[in-house]
Structure 1
Amino acid sequence: MTPVTTAVRAGLRRGLIELRQTMSTAQDVVNFLLPAAVFLVVMLFLRQVPVKDAPISVGAMSLPSMLGLNVAFGGLLAMAQTLTAEREDGTLLRAKAVPNGMLGYLIGKIVTISGSTVAAVLVLLVPGVLLFEGIGLTSLGAWLTLAWVLVLGLVATMPLGAVLGSLFTSPRSAALVMLPIMGLSVISGIFYPITVLPQWVQLVAQCSPIYWLGLGMRSAMLPDSAVVAEIAHSWRPLETFGVLAVWAVLGLVLAPVVLRRMARRESGSSVAARREKAMQRIG
């Protein structure tokens, strides 16, 4: 067995252990369920609000969009914040000290965050399908679309999240990533049809994977008649695949380079200095 294979297997085991711990910890489970419950309640209040020119409510249209947003949050925010926190507490330094330890560490994080994101999607998807008219996965094609958008969305966002996480030195500074991501969410058609926004805002939103994740989820779950609320009255599956694939390639190219540079800069003294600053903030 090669060292790389050993690192991969260790990373898979670590990821599954962390995922099991997450799913069996009450606080983490509440963190999954509470936002989903809040979103569902809000969307239920919007069940009677129609989308202009589309035979569907704002609540029903928002549900698949929120699934796409969950994928983006899992890939971008969860990866960035986890990487920053474990860089501060010395976990990355310990991983660096083991042969191929960074490879195993990253694979473990991919498994944990992917599993957590899929769980968060299911928490919204299962009750949403039952509660909203017009929502459904009634064909094999719809299920396949949902699957490839979910997988490609994670591949497109997790490397970018790792890149973002490597740029910050503390969890507090990494929290700043939330602001631009929330801004992009607002203009990306997640909470209302993007076609109501000015054209230049629509162009900005289409540069982000968040818009395409929402569009891909809507194309899988909404009836064809709802497409009138989309740009060009089309689900644009080829464009969705292409843009997410471009972001995936960009992230996969950048992430190893950035993470290697970050790992080389890690040392016991840098970890100790960050811990001291953290203790001063707490004190």
Structure 2
Amino acid sequence: MSTANPPSRSATRGDGRLPSAARLGVDRAGVELRAFFRERDAVIFIFSYPLIMMAIFATVFGGQDQGTDGYGVPFAQYFLPGMIATGVMLTSFQSLAVAVAVERDDGTLKRLRLAPLPAVSYFVGKIGLVLVTTVVQTTLLLVLAATVYDVPMPTDVTSWGTFAWVFVLGTATGTVCGVAFSSLPRSGKSATAVVTPVVLVLQFISGVFFAFFALPSWMQAVASLFPLKWMAQGMRSVFLPEDAQVLEVAGTWQHGATAAVLGGWLVLGLVLGVRTFRWRRRDDG
């Protein structure tokens, strides 16, 4: 995602002072969103990928149920939570890890650092971009699931409350981890090659494309170390019947463990981001 030119030093308030960091962050979010929606290929991929995958899997496996012992649910209903979770990961972790690496490589971050833009405002802008894109993407996915595949939506406040905290915590975790991971690629050109395999592997082992309970136990153990598995499980607790929790490895939805793992990765991402984030390329001093 490319960004517009940084604000000039003449962008001051009427009293000659710069706006607050929060105000600059909101303005920066607007810049990020305008730049994002100008890149049609990125817009199409980010918004359409979960929809296309949902359509393919729901159509191919539409006649099958996931589950045993009478707790089977339609495949589209079982598949929806994983697609919501992976959509969040795509728009937060993957998009930011690639975009920030590219901005560092082409000198955008260096120019922003020299501009009268507080560092926190830059990150607020990225957070605003991620929040808007994840909300739009998830809304489109829910509309598709409900109208085309007749997936029942939650009808109680408790379920929507669970959806809200898993969505917000998962988005925050993906965002900070994406920023932290952006320091790993050696250049903007290599960013996609470094980030994409990580995302693909996590999708396959975290219960996104396949029923998690059907995966080998060693694969389940590996997936349980990472946020995507827990986001998908948290979303399953929202969109699947209560009895379906017997299909989980632990036999329950494990909301406490979900919050703990996502929160742990959020803190880890913040610590690593603070310690490793760079405004310049490695060869730029």
TM-score, with normalisation over the residues of structure 2?
0.85
Alignment of 1:33-182 (within 5 A): 33-45=47-59, 46-53=61-68, 54-99=71-116, 101-133=118-150, 135-175=152-192, 176-182=194-200
- The offset of 1:204, in angstroms, is 0.6
Q: 2:213 aligns with which of 183, 195, 205?
A: 195
For residue 19 of structure 1, the aligned residue among 22, 33, 42 is: 33
SS in 1 for 2:54: helix
Conservation of the 8 A alpha-carbon contact between 1:68 and 1:217? yes
Q: 2:226 aligns with which of 177, 199, 208?
A: 208
The answer to whether the 8 A contact 1:69-1:190 is kept is yes
Q: In structure 2, which of residues 32, 45, 48 is the aligned counterpart of residue 31 of structure 1?
A: 45
Q: Which amino acid aligns with 1:225?
A: D
114-123 or 99-108, which deviates more: 99-108
* Contact 1:67 1:121 (C-alpha < 8 Å) held by counterparts: yes
CA-CA distance at 1:86 after TM superposition:
0.9
Question: Structure 1: which 5+ runs fail to align?
Answer: 272-283
1:237 aligns with 2:255: yes
Give 1:60 shift: 1.7
1:182-212 deviations in Å (ceiling 9; x for gaps): 1121011112221212222111110010100
SS at match of 1:233: coil
* CA 134–120 in structure 1, closer or farther in 2 if over 3 Å, else same: closer
Percent of residue pairs identical: 30
110-119 vs 61-70, greater mean Cα deviation: 110-119
Root-mean-square deviation (CA), in Å?
A: 2.4
Q: What amino acid is aligned across from residue 145 of structure 1 in structure 2?
A: T
Deviations 1:36-67 (A, max 9, x none): 44123213312211113133122221111110
Moved more, 168-177 or 30-39: 30-39
Give unmatched runs, 5+ long, in structure 2: 1-12
Letter in 2 for 1:64: P
Judging by fraction of residues, say which structure has more helix: 1
* Residues 29, 128 of structure 2: 8 Å contact kept: yes
